[in-house]
Structure 1
Amino acid sequence: MPQRIGQDDSFSIPTVPFRNRGYVWSQLRMATFVEESTSSWDEPDLEDELSHDNEQAEEVNESPLLEEYQDWSKALKKAVKALEKKRKSLQSEYEKAQGVEDTVARAQLLVSNLYHFNPGVKTATVQDWENDGAEVELTLNPKYASANEEADALFAQARKLKRGSQIVKELLNESEQAWELLSDAQADLESACMDDGEINQGRLALVQDRLQRSSRATKFQPPLPRDAAQAKSSSSQSNGGKSNRKQSKPEIGTPQSNLRKLMSPGGCIVLVGRNRRGNEHLSMSIARGNDVWMHSRGCPGAHVIIQNRRGSPKPTPECLAFAADLAIYYSDFRNEVKAPVTTAEPKHLQKPRGAPLGAIKVRQESETLIGYPARVPDELKEARAASGQSDEYRSTDKAKHRKRTKQVAQQERAKRKKANKEKKAAAERPDFY
């Protein structure tokens, strides 16, 4: 029997040679640690683990019907909020346009009292015969050089406000009708969620069908299914965070950069020329076959085509109306309520010899449509307003270009006259002296 060291039997080592004691001591310490550690472990509760797994499965496997209801409710709430904001903005614009009567009254008062405003006179007390001859103090706007110039500007502003008020009133009525439709649909959608949290599938389907049928009037965009939205998000992330639409945007300077590419209600591609170069490229290079070519009748404007290619959707009456509205909106008739639109087949388009860039001759017209510029989508109107393009800028640019062209023509005539004079003098000069 080997001798033991120490009085405590729970911790003792056998007597071993001195050179091996360190190894034996370390082995005993390791065995004691493993025994203490394993003794403190609890037995796993199988029922708790199973219940936890079931809870996670219930969270993951949420009802697809509930997800669909939540997506449609969120999209509808967003659309109603956007329409409320649009209504307030249009109401503010309509109230501003109602000041046309005051503008006309001031212009008429200036015209009837022009003799009071001699050169240098800025303020005069006149009688307003529209208000029983009451005396009114008129002060000229320092922006204008004379009372006559201010009156002309006020009359022009009044005409513009009158046209604008009609358009704004129509837009306001349309937005109010759309808001009522979406508000009713929102109330019906809320009733599809029962008190116990269950979703009435029949009510949900009815609301979805109503929203899709009225989408043209309300501009409501149905939400994408979650799997499609996730696929779109992953595609955007795989492109380095850039969307496919931004990636496909043509580079500046290319022919495609001079065109607008839109989608009609029937799914047809509609192309609109941005400038003369775009009109030329659109009519002479892109339009072909059964495409429908459009242009505002009797005034300058953009060339528009509806692509009708093999395998693409056929143009519907809604598509034709959409393109006709674009043709009038991107023309000098954009402030009118409605205007005629010329349509033709691409084979009847001809480029006259010596015609300027963007000028096209139509040998045979197809039919005449009516375009309503107020029906153009709001996104296009906002984009045009943000770009700073308006009638005032357009007329100013035209006058500026006309003046510059006239100066260039005068310089060219002076050069030719000088060259002819030098040529004639050289011909009359003797060969020798």
Structure 2
Amino acid sequence: MENILVSEKLSTFRNFFNQETKPCLTETSFSPVPFANQIGEPFASLSDLLDTYYKDKAERDRVKQQASELIRRVENELQKNRHKLKKQEKELLATDNAEEFRQKGELLTTFLHQVPNDQDQVILDNYYTNQPITIALDKALTPNQNAQRYFKRYQKLKEAVKYLTDLIEETKATILYLESVETVLNQAGLEGIAEIREELIQTGFIRRRQREKIQKRKKPEQYLASDGKTIIYVGRNNLQNEELTFKMARKEELWFHAKDIPGSHVVISGNLDPSDEVKTDAAELAAYFSQGRLSNLVQVDMIEVKKLNKPTGGKPGFVTYTGQKTLRVTPDPEKIASMKKS
């Protein structure tokens, strides 16, 4: 039995290396033969594959060189805002005893006749817990002034809670925005870098150079769905996302976005009753142009444009929504390339 198993393994091993050479190039690697479940671009020869690989690598290196300043700036801003968020959350945690100050003020007011003068503390019955409580006093203040002192401290902390909560939400939104820019930068081609720089100038993260011209905004990219007639638009940066979602798209059209991760806005244009196949096409585009590009399975939200909300003061491309449906798709680089309209 053992010999049979060994023989089968050797046979499988020989078959793998004896198969016809079909070089395959993927997003992250290349191999002389395709592996099971591997999604990639096939080539007629290893020489053709290597030519394409190193040509693409040269372009990626040029993009990386041109994008290095932007990447460094975005990474620095992300680090700064993440540190700020931790500090704000720590400060918010310190306000947890606000209710305690209010209760002490209430108890001092209720039992004012039991509060002595010229003492640094008083023990009262706490009707909130049905247990005695020791309350610190300021000897220089009257009983009523001590009660008001606790109410003022409570009010100050209460205001701090609202202030810090608003700051935390603002910082979180900034982090989400910067993460979306980081995702786009990592996927951008040479012509996309200038647009991203313009976006960062408009959002105040970098300054415009002296005599630097305003970058003309390009339209979102167009892709042709599997039905051969439906156009699907994809925003390749946040300025394009903003234009696509809030200026170009009709309210009844379907909008797609990778769930809970940075990515492109995707809209099925003109077709108000798309087939499941077309919806899948759009979802795959949203998955591919997102932080989940290299994942085997990506969740993508689908919702009508009219149900999207733009928060007041929100960064470009930032939306909120409820009532979406979620699709699960696998990004396919070869399919995406075949859908691209020239």
Q: Give me the TM-score of the superposition, normalised by structure 2.
A: 0.39
Q: Which has the higher contact order (CA 8 A, sep 6+)?
A: 2
Higher helix fraction: Structure 1 or Structure 2? 1
Whichever of the two has the greater Rg, that structure is 1
The TM-score normalised by the length of structure 1 is 0.32
